[in-house]
Amino acid sequence: MLTALGAAVIAAVASLVGVTLGALLEPLKLNAARRAKLRQDRADRCAGLIEAATRARKHIVDINVIHRRRQLHEEAETDAQREIEFDDAYYTARTEMRAFYGLLVMSGPDELVEQANVLRRKEMELHHTRWELDDDGKFDRRFLPTPVREASAAFDRAIEEFALVARKHTS
């Protein structure tokens, strides 16, 4: 009889300890889950910003190529339609960049926001070069005009630097 009573007491104490530990650990688990969700949201926003920036870069270069062809009267009939499509796609990507930037400003951290702001400035610098013409006045699709090439390289570096900071804050 004493053994059955002892087993019941041990089971009750173990149950009480288990419930108490569960109650104490629950806030820790919720906090860990909240931090994991925040990191995942931040990672999604950073990835979205990088993808939108990459698309914006591509479309700016495409717009520049069509503009240079038009200036040298090498315009194909489909260029006007393609330019409209590239322009629309560029402004869509730019809008996505602004949206992701706003979400990053809202959630932080400041280092990531500062790097995203650098990325946006470099995108604007590239945007201002979209009407640049070839240095020698001859169209060659393989080579971008010097200002476009330099702004594009700076934008690429800004994307890479943003990705490095994002990795630090999302992993």
Dig out the tokens for 49 from the structure.
């910003």
Residue 9 within a domain = no
Q: Quick check: is 76 in a domain?
A: yes
Question: What CATH number is associated with residue 60?
Answer: 1.20.120
- Would you state the pLDDT for residue 131? 86
Query: What Rg value do the Cα atoms of the chain yield, rounded?
Result: 28
Residue 119 placed within a domain: yes
Q: How confident is the model at residue 34 (pLDDT cuts 50, 70, 90)?
A: confident
Q: Residue 50's pLDDT band (boundaries 50, 70, 90)?
A: very high
Q: How many residues does the chain have?
A: 171
Which residues, at least 6 apart from 150, have a Cβ–Cβ distance to it below 8 Å? none
Q: Are 87 and 63 in contact, with CB atoms under 8 Å apart?
A: yes
Please classify residue 76 by burial: count the beta carbons closer than 10 Å to its beta carbon, then call 0-12 exposed, 13-18 middle and 19+ buried. Answer: exposed
Q: Max alpha carbon distance in the chain (Å)?
A: 104
pTM of the model: 0.80
d(CA 28, CA 86): 49
Q: Does any domain span residue 162?
A: yes
**What's the domain count of the chain?**
1
Token pair 């006007």: residue: 80
The predicted structure's pLDDT at residue 17? 65
Comparing 108 with 56, the larger pLDDT belongs to 56
Q: What is the mean pLDDT of the chain?
A: 85
- Residue 25: predicted pLDDT: 64
Query: Could you read off the pLDDT of 102-119 as tens digits, one per residue?
Result: 999 998 899 999 999 999
In a domain, 155, yes or no: yes
The string of DSSP letters for 60-115 reads: HHHHHHHHHHHHTT---TTHHHHHHHHHHHHHHHHHHHHHHHHHHHHH--HHHHHH
Assess whether pLDDT exceeds 80 at residue 21. Answer: no
Tokens 């809008």 correspond to what residue?
95
Q: Confidence class of residue 77 from pLDDT cuts 50, 70 and 90?
A: low
Query: Containing domain of residue 81, as a range?
Result: 39-170
Tokens standing for residue 43: 């990672």
